[in-house]
């Protein structure tokens, strides 16, 4: 097989030690020798980012975001430089580029920057010279010429953005699992590897807890039509292909059960029933870069009684969220803030549920049969999420996976032929 | 005291752990609060560079120099980002810059790049905004937009180059020793800290083994008239000031004894006695970036007999030197190469010896009295160096230090008043 440009992305566990890093270099070279132009995006090695973060918190309780980016961006550069050395030893020319050198221009929102533009000239001219190009993931350069990072998992977004910019035929995401599963195999051992998933399903799965692909990278891939192939870096078997809905053969009723155990609930009591209040609260949280998930507002019983508003945020963002809300609470005369950090979430995702209204009822019944109390519910055309107590999440995942018969055999959707997306 | 711009450079041991790094931040802030504009240049933390080098050699026996630079340059960035966080916690605004962002433009000689230009606009505008500027030492950006490094100890050169570019009144080099000594105190416990040294003396001392200041930084300081103050980062006592000869009060006969135990001798036998041979050899070594120290050529006894040529190189460069010489040896019909890795060197340096011809005789006599065999000799107007067996170096240093009465009291040169160069 010979062909066009492929972007390959290797996560931290795939480059954690010298043996694995050389293994990644070998896979890159195999792809190159098969006739492809290859751009590889690497993450920081193993626990390197965690080490740098802990170095920062040893110095400061609230590290400057700009400096955090300067600090954290070094991890991916190390991986790329080392991988270029390994490729050179395998007899090919490789060049490592920082996010800035690769032309990844972002906004100035440090630690959570968004890509504004990819100026891939330096990449394409290196490819034209027959070089393998290695790009430090997770980072870019802001419009004010500072180093920025894209947030956790940002290397996936780097890879997809580069794939779009260079017109790659596929963006391969190499990871330490064989692909996307019908549920977390650590919780459901009989979970099935999915061969093909639509962008829309993958978006819902990523946003509801499936850690294998970062949400923003899937959004970017959908918006730019980049075919993602999520696969293991430790063997050559095909993984999960993420493509547009037209390309999936049929829509399963339910594709997967996802979950998260790291949620927190914030409840605002005594919220004045005046227009614009919810908007002010949401703006304050958005400006602090806190992703609010579910929002529930209890309408007051009498017309002038204050309302109650609850929403969930990632538990790690709870402190930031409370800090961002404090001035708004004071200014608007909100009664109080209560928080609960022991929240989790279980979701089912499937493109086919659009046309099957009975799915929600089955979810609620199943959880009820297992005495799992549902605290909040949110739905989309292809997803149903329930906020539950964090410690009941594993039971809920197993119950739903079994109720919708997602295990290996007997699945509603037939297996895709392997050959179709073998590399 | 309030005044102009000061460049402060902190070495790896001064930022090795969180406590020390915060200590460096505190000193930077003290200087800023005293009314100075402050640019601080930081090295990589502790053993970080060694760790990165060992990571590289775990991947490749001969890492690509371009990638080595991408790899190693991350260490200083980490130090700067962390220090900026610490300064921020002390209530001042700091900004960390990479060598590239700081405008340090170098040639393309990876791992040993030379500074071509310093475009300090971004530094000066940050200073104008009242910020403390932190610059990653040891690195720059090449004319072809690749990350380069300046070689071991290159952070000193960064500091001096920035001091010249921003017109700093002093370049303070903070290190783990109190200053420059009359000999290595680990070998000569009674060695004396020198209060003032001329550029010329410091050049000879750096090139003959005094590790406290990198040779190139002293050259750069001399050429651009940058006053260096080499001092301890662990206390506030004044260190050693390096200034032009006119500023030193008087020229001591002998200022210091320096030494090195890491020399290797290369002897070429059967060298054809034709013009240009020595030039070809020197060119080959220079192109491989090997610094040749002493060179001795034995004239042949008869007019057409082949000559013998010996020279010393740093022991770490011996492999590179042999590799660079191999094609020249073959091409010129040189008889053979012999090497000896057990060489060391002892030197005495003093601006006053220019006018005292008896110094050399006293050196040779002193070494002879201690049965130390001199293998090669080289002299400059203010230095005498002798190549000796490596394992006799400590004895030689002690003997010369004592013979020239360099210890604390009874020194030929009076102490300088401390106040003159207190910060």
A33 vs B: CB within 8 A: no
Least confident of A215-229, A240-254, B45-59: A240-254
Q: How many helices (H) and strands (E) does chain A have?
A: 12, 20
| Residue among B58, B95, B96 minimizing CB distance to A18 | B58
pLDDT tens string B7-24? 999 999 999 999 999 999
Q: Which of A18, A26, A67, A94 to mutate to test the interface with B (most CBs of B within 10 A)?
A: A67
Nearest residue to A77 via CA among A135, A123, A117? A135
- CB-CB neighbors (< 8 A) of A85 in chain B: 56, 59-60, 63-64, 67-68
pLDDT tens string A51-68? 999 999 999 999 999 999
| Residue among A60, A122, A147 minimizing CB distance to B85 | A60
B205 vs A: CB within 8 A: no
Q: What is the DSSP letter of A379?
A: E
Query: 3.40.1160.10, 3.50.50.60, 3.40.50.970, 2.60.40.1080: which CATH number matches A5-246?
Result: 3.40.1160.10
- CB-CB neighbors (< 8 A) of B96 in chain A: 67, 70
| Residue among A86, A101, A145 minimizing CB distance to B59 | A86
B1 pLDDT tier (thresholds 50, 70, 90) = very low
Q: Are A209 and A347 in contact (CB under 8 A)?
A: yes
**Judged by CB atoms within 8 Å, which residues 37-96 of A form the interface with B?**
52, 55-56, 58-64, 66-68, 70-71, 73-74, 77-78, 80-82, 84-86, 88-89, 94-96
DSSP A29-87: HHHHHTT-EEEEEEPPPTTHHHHHHHHHHHH-SS--HHHHHHHHTHHHHHHHHHHHHHH
Query: 3.30.428.10, 3.40.50.1970, 3.40.1160.10, 3.10.20.30: which CATH number matches B5-248?
Result: 3.40.1160.10
- The listed range with the strongest mean pLDDT (A1-5, A38-42, A254-258, A297-301) is A38-42
Q: What is the DSSP letter of B45?
A: P
* Binary contact (A56, B98; C-beta < 8 A): no
Q: Are A161 and A115 in contact (CB under 8 A)?
A: yes
Query: What pLDDT, on a 0 to 100 scale, did the predictor assign at position B414?
Result: 33
pLDDT tens string A305-340? 677 888 899 999 999 999 999 999 998 888 889 999
Nearest residue to B289 via CA among B48, B56, B107? B107
Q: What is the β-pairing status of strands A104-106 and A5-10?
A: unpaired
Residue B262 has pLDDT above 50, yes or no: yes
Collapse the DSSP code of A243 into the 3-class scheme (helix H, G, I; strand E, B; otherwise coil) and give the result. Answer: strand
* Binary contact (A95, B145; C-beta < 8 A): no
Residue A418 has pLDDT above 80, yes or no: no
**Judged by CB atoms within 8 Å, which residues 126-185 of B form the interface with A?**
145, 147
Mean pLDDT in residue range B124-150: 97
Contacts (Cβ under 8 Å, ≥6 apart) of A76: A42, A43, A44, A99, A136, A137, A138, A139, A155
Q: CA–CA separation, B328 vs B276, rounded Å?
A: 12
A243 pLDDT tier (thresholds 50, 70, 90) = very high
**Length of chain B measured in residues:** 423
pTM of the model: 0.81
Structure tokens at B289: 């970036």
pLDDT tens string B296-345? 877 666 666 677 888 899 999 999 999 999 999 998 888 889 999 999 99
**C-alpha angle B90/B94/B96, rounded to 5°?**
135
Domain boundaries in chain A?
5-246, 258-403
A412 pLDDT tier (thresholds 50, 70, 90) = very low
B232 pLDDT tier (thresholds 50, 70, 90) = very high
pLDDT tens string A199-222? 999 999 988 888 788 888 999 999
pLDDT tens string B352-371? 887 777 888 899 999 999 99
Q: CA–CA separation, A80 vs A43, rounded Å?
A: 8
Q: CA–CA separation, B388 vs B373, rounded Å?
A: 6
Query: 3.30.2130.10, 3.30.70.260, 3.90.1170.50, 1.10.340.30: which CATH number matches B258-403?
Result: 3.30.2130.10
Query: What pLDDT, on a 0 to 100 scale, did the predictor assign at position B299?
Result: 67
Side by side, the strands of the sheet bearing A295-298 are A295-298, A307-314, A256-271, A336-349, A383-389, A376-380
A14 pLDDT tier (thresholds 50, 70, 90) = very high
- Cβ-Cβ pairs closer than 8 A, A with B, add up to 105
* Binary contact (B84, A70; C-beta < 8 A): yes
Give the nearest chain B residue to A135 (CA atoms): B70
Q: Are B38 and B8 in contact (CB under 8 A)?
A: yes
- CB-CB neighbors (< 8 A) of A59 in chain B: 18, 21-22, 82, 85-86, 89
Residue A1 has pLDDT above 70, yes or no: no
Mean pLDDT in residue range A254-278: 89
């Amino acid at each position: 097989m010979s062909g066009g440009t492929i972007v390959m992305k290797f996560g931290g566990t795939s480059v954690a030690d010298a043996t694995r890093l050389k293994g990644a270099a070998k896979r890159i070279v195999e792809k190159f020798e098969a006739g492809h132009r290859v751009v590889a995006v690497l993450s920081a090695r193993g626990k390197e980012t965690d080490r740098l973060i802990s170095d920062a918190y040893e110095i400061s309780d609230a590290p400057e975001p700009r400096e955090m980016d300067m600090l954290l961006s070094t991890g991916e550069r190390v991986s790329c430089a080392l991988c270029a050395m390994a490729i050179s030893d395998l007899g090919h020319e490789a060049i490592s580029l920082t996010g800035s050198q690769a032309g990844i221009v972002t906004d100035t929102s440090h630690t959570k920057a968004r890509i504004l533009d990819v100026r891939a000239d330096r990449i394409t001219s290196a490819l034209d010279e027959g070089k393998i190009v290695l790009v430090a993931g997770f980072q870019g350069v802001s419009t004010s010429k500072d180093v920025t990072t894209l947030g956790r998992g940002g290397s996936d977004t780097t890879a997809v953005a580069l794939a779009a910019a260079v017109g790659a035929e596929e963006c391969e995401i190499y990871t330490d699992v064989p692909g996307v599963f019908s549920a977390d195999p650590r919780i459901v051992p009989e979970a099935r590897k999915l061969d093909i998933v639509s962008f829309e399903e993958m978006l819902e799965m990523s946003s509801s807890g499936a850690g294998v692909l970062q949400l923003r990278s899937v959004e970017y891939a959908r918006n730019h039509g980049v075919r993602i192939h999520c696969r293991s870096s430790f063997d050559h078997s095909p993984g999960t292909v993420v493509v547009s809905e037209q390309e999936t053969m049929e829509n399963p009723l339910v594709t997967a059960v996802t979950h998260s155990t790291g949620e927190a609930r914030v409840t605002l009591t005594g919220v004045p029933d005046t227009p614009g209040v919810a908007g002010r609260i949401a703006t304050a949280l958005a400006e602090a870069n806190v992703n609010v998930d579910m929002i529930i507002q209890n309408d007051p019983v009498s017309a002038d009684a204050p309302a109650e508003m609850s929403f969930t945020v990632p538990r790690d963002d709870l402190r930031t969220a409370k800090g961002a809300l404090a001035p708004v609470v004071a200014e608007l005369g909100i009664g109080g803030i209560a928080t609960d950090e022991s929240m989790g979430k279980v979701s089912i995702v499937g493109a086919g549920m659009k046309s099957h209204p009975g799915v929600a009822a089955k979810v609620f019944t199943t959880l009820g049969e297992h005495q799992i109390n549902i605290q909040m519910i949110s739905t989309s055309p292809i997803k149903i999420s329930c906020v539950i107590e964090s410690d009941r999440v594993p039971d809920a995942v197993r119950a739903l996976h079994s109720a919708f018969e997602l295990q290996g055999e007997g699945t509603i959707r037939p297996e895709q032929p392997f050959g179709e997306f073998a590399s």
